[in-house]
Amino acid sequence: MRGVVQGVGFRPFVYSSANRRSLTGRVLNNGVGVLIDVQGEPAEIDQFGAELEANPPPLSIIESIERLDHLAPVDYRDFQILESDATGAKLVPVSADVATCDECVNELFDARNRRYRYPFINCTNCGPRFTITESVPYDRRNTTMRMFAMCEECRHEYDEPLNRRFHAEPIACARCGPQLRLLDREGREVAGDPLSLARDLLQRGKILAIKGIGGFHLACDALSSKTVADLRSRKVREDKPFALMANSLSVIRRYARVSDEEAALLQSPAHPIVLLQKKDKSSVPETVAPGVNSLGVMLPYSPLHYLLLENSNKPLVMTSGNVSDEPICYHDDDAGQRLSRIADYFLFHDRNIHVRTDDSVVRLHDGREMILRRSRGYAPAPIRTAFDFARPILACGAELKNTFCFARDHTAFVSHHIGDLENLETLSSFTEGIEHYRRLFAIDPEVVAYDLHPEYLSTKYALALGNIEEKIAVQHHHAHVASCMTDNQIDGEVIGVAFDGLGYGLDGKMWGGEFFVADFCQAERMAHLAYVPLPGGVQAIREPWRLAAVYLERTFGQAFLDLGLEFNRRLDVRKWSALRRMMTAGLNCPQTSSMGRLFDAVAGLLCVREAVNYEGQAAIELEGIATRLSHPAYEFKVEAGEIYAEAVIRSAVENLLDGTPASEIAARFHLGVAELIVKVATQIRQERHLNRVVLSGGVFQNMLLLHKVCQLLRESEFAVFTHSRVPANDGGISLGQAAVANACVQRGRYN
């Protein structure tokens, strides 16, 4: 019997199951999968096989089982677990990191246990995996734990098949395993117990850099607005929300609403950050998550976290250990340098992190998990596809929120969140990450897929790759739609709606408000927002007021300058005149059909946000003030495949002038966008007899819009598909690229 499974507690499970049935034989991990050789009564063997299929160990994923009967008998006296053998294709997928299990938590706080209060306790069912793995097969010698020689007791547990730490590769105890150290910002070790010192310092309002599973966190008391504000200014992070960690659901419930389904997400093996609805009278300071109505919270997921938060009824800020938008630190030296101006103290440990992973971010939508950032605890778990990849593919992803993806057979390995490919360090995470995955999953790509945008660093990487037969450029929004189709395991023609910030279009313009009739092979553009200029290019993204002025001038001509709005009072007319001259001359003013930019324009018009400090901030804050949807919706005009927003802007201005509150205007705008989608989808349905609508792109992280549009589409009897396993934002692009490239290869049609 041979099965491809993830290496989590599988062999001990096989061992005890075989022993219970008096079967003899062998089990080993041979790099292709788990190989089980059993001998005994046929009925017992059948039951043994049935149990493997029906009740495998909690964290294992069985990819496939192959069974060969009536082999020549071997003189087995017992059942044994054999050492892994490194021959054969290295196909056993490395598991994602798993949050500390209940049994380990119990031992952690059990004074009689030999690992009592040991911050690196783990077992076969929990602990770091992917982040410590250097190569395959997944064995201690191929992890960063190989520096620690096991003590006799650990070795005994590791070797004992019925022990719950049998072959737990990161097994350790206080005698033989990793240790903590506390240093001040000058790098001097602080004498005393690092853990109680750290707890004490946090209590006293200090900011600590804490080494975790996939990198460093910056931690501080979340209830002290002064400390949180300090952290913001030192980190040069004006507004982007901070995540919190609290030691129990009951603490979290003081600050946010938690449904049963959300509680299940918080407690899942990945222990992600879950975005929850902030309570109205939440006592978390506004500086934790300014201008947004959600709160990102997680539960402790490593023993160190449990110890730091023990008996604490206060949440900690646990934000990524980086400056501004840089990638998070994961090496001690690097953290000591880069974070020295932010952290007052450093809590280090000597277990090296091999792969940097951020905390994953999820939320609940329609009763299912919707991943916004897929990283620790999820990557590199395989994503099953409904189709087969004809040839091994590497898809390089987009520029922002980059992920890449290796795919073969019916499996896609979407990488952990790499980040924005705009500095050297992220770029090297990208290139090194690709090499690492290539080795871990033994995939040698024959096809490489990349974004059409010529300036993306991921595109340049793809074009420079040698030894690849086929290179396929995939239009950004086609990739979004294909990603959502793959996420939902559907194929065939669909109505694809891709609303996002910006993506390179087939006509060289910046798309982002697109309706398609699409399948994996092609995407026919059916309708899009009418083009407007982006005055100053990228700078227009940082300053939403520019888009507001562009749309106002579209609607009212020069007369918009005399509308007498708050917007007019704030407008720097000289700056605007300079931009107008640029637009007339066509200088640095790319044309865009982006829906994300229209959200910016409305936020700018309402003076919610004139300049942003992080991507999507204006739209997020616009959603934040539109507490509930109200009628009448603003109406877009759709003519010959072009969508015009002038009437929307005109209504919003009229409402501003008649004193309608901004919250109401924001709400009518959201409702207008939802109704626009239904209207255009209905037209396409009449023409093409398609009934499935696929929603993708970063704009669909707007929950107010997403809930409403799903509801309206279902009322109109559409089948609606949204993202779950990969993000709707550009983090999902690589999966879509792989699906499109595969379809092109299969149909022999290459761009």
CB of 407 or CB of 452, closer to Fe ion: 452
The string of DSSP codes covering 703-741 is HHHHHHHHHHHHHTT-EEE--SSS-SSGGGHHHHHHHHH
Collapse the DSSP code of 543 into the 3-class scheme (helix H, G, I; strand E, B; otherwise coil) and give the result. Answer: coil
Distance (Å, whole) CA 425 – CA 428: 5
Nearest 10 degrees: Cα torsion 635, 636, 639, 641: -140
Q: What is the DSSP letter of 400?
A: T
Q: Mask of contacts with Fe ion, 445-484, x by CB under 5 A?
A: ----------------------------------------
Measured at CB, which residue is nearest to Fe ion? 500
Taking CB within 5 to 8 Å according to partner kind, which of Fe ion, Zn ion, none is near residue 601? Answer: none
CB of 302 or CB of 486, closer to Zn ion: 302
CB of 37 or CB of 514, closer to Fe ion: 514
Check if the beta carbon of residue 597 is closer than 8 Å to that of residue 645: no
Sheet containing 62-66: which strands, arranged edge to edge? Answer: 62-66, 2-5, 34-39, 24-29, 79-81
Cβ at position 81, least distance to Zn ion in Å: 19
Check if the beta carbon of residue 582 is closer than 8 Å to that of residue 536: yes
Taking CB within 5 to 8 Å according to partner kind, which of Zn ion, Fe ion, none is near residue 500? Answer: Fe ion
Cβ at position 11, least distance to Zn ion in Å: 17
CB of 25 or CB of 503, closer to Fe ion: 503
State both tokens at 521. 């092979």
CB of 139 or CB of 730, closer to Fe ion: 730
Q: Is 230 in the site for Fe ion (CB under 5 A)?
A: no
Cβ at position 503, least distance to Fe ion in Å: 5
Q: Is 399 in the site for Fe ion (CB under 5 A)?
A: no
Q: Is 500 in the site for Fe ion (CB under 5 A)?
A: yes
Does the bond joining 137 to the residue before it have cis omega, within 30 degrees of 0? yes
Distance (Å, whole) CA 488 – CA 481: 11
Q: Is 369 in the site for Fe ion (CB under 5 A)?
A: no
CB of 171 or CB of 427, closer to Zn ion: 171
Distance (Å, whole) CA 453 – CA 474: 9
Taking CB within 5 to 8 Å according to partner kind, which of Zn ion, Fe ion, none is near residue 561? Answer: none
Taking CB within 5 to 8 Å according to partner kind, which of Fe ion, Zn ion, none is near residue 145? Answer: none
What residues line the site for Zn ion (CB under 5 A)?
101, 104, 123, 125-126, 151, 154, 173, 175-176
Q: Is 730 in the site for Fe ion (CB under 5 A)?
A: yes
Taking CB within 5 to 8 Å according to partner kind, which of Zn ion, Fe ion, none is near residue 616? Answer: none
Collapse the DSSP code of 161 into the 3-class scheme (helix H, G, I; strand E, B; otherwise coil) and give the result. Answer: coil
The set of residues, in sequence order, having a beta carbon less than 8 Å from that of 591 and lying 6+ positions away, is 509, 510, 531, 532, 533, 534
Q: Is 514 in the site for Fe ion (CB under 5 A)?
A: no
Q: What angle is formed at CA 302 by the lines to CA 211 and CA 105, rounded to 5 degrees?
A: 150
CB of 15 or CB of 504, closer to Fe ion: 504
Cβ at position 500, least distance to Fe ion in Å: 4
CB of 315 or CB of 731, closer to Fe ion: 731
Three-state SS string over 362-378 comes to EEEECCEEEEEECCCCC
CB of 160 or CB of 572, closer to Zn ion: 160
Residue 696 backbone dihedrals phi, psi, to 5 degrees: -145, 165
CB of 119 or CB of 732, closer to Zn ion: 119
The set of residues, in sequence order, having a beta carbon less than 8 Å from that of 96 and lying 6+ positions away, is 129, 130, 270, 376, 377, 378, 379, 380, 381
Cβ at position 626, least distance to Fe ion in Å: 23
Radius of gyration of the chain (CA): 27
- In one-letter notation, the amino acid at residue 600 is D
Cβ at position 73, least distance to Fe ion in Å: 59
Q: What angle is formed at CA 79 by the lines to CA 76 and CA 85, rounded to 5 degrees?
A: 95
> Among 67-75, 116-124, 355-363, 499-507, which window interacts with Fe ion (CB under 5 A)?
499-507
Collapse the DSSP code of 408 into the 3-class scheme (helix H, G, I; strand E, B; otherwise coil) and give the result. Answer: strand
Cβ at position 676, least distance to Fe ion in Å: 19
Cβ at position 396, least distance to Zn ion in Å: 36
The set of residues, in sequence order, having a beta carbon less than 8 Å from that of 136 and lying 6+ positions away, is 31, 90, 92, 94, 142, 439, 440, 442
Cβ at position 229, least distance to Fe ion in Å: 33
The set of residues, in sequence order, having a beta carbon less than 8 Å from that of 173 and lying 6+ positions away, is 114, 115, 118, 121, 151, 153, 154
Taking CB within 5 to 8 Å according to partner kind, which of Fe ion, Zn ion, none is near residue 547? Answer: none
Cβ at position 732, least distance to Fe ion in Å: 9
Cβ at position 176, least distance to Zn ion in Å: 3
Q: Is 420 in the site for Fe ion (CB under 5 A)?
A: no
Cβ at position 173, least distance to Zn ion in Å: 3
Q: Around 134, how many Cα atoms within 13 Å sit in the side-chain half-sphere? A: 12
Q: Mask of contacts with Fe ion, 686-725, x by CB under 5 A?
A: ----------------------------------------
> Among 225-233, 313-321, 446-454, 502-510, which window interacts with Fe ion (CB under 5 A)?
502-510
Q: What is the DSSP letter of 236?
A: T
Taking CB within 5 to 8 Å according to partner kind, which of Zn ion, Fe ion, none is near residue 176? Answer: Zn ion
Taking CB within 5 to 8 Å according to partner kind, which of Fe ion, Zn ion, none is near residue 730? Answer: Fe ion
CB of 3 or CB of 698, closer to Fe ion: 698
Q: Is 519 in the site for Fe ion (CB under 5 A)?
A: no
CB of 516 or CB of 545, closer to Fe ion: 516
Kindly list the residues in this chain that would bind Fe ion in the complex (CB under 5 A): 500, 503, 730
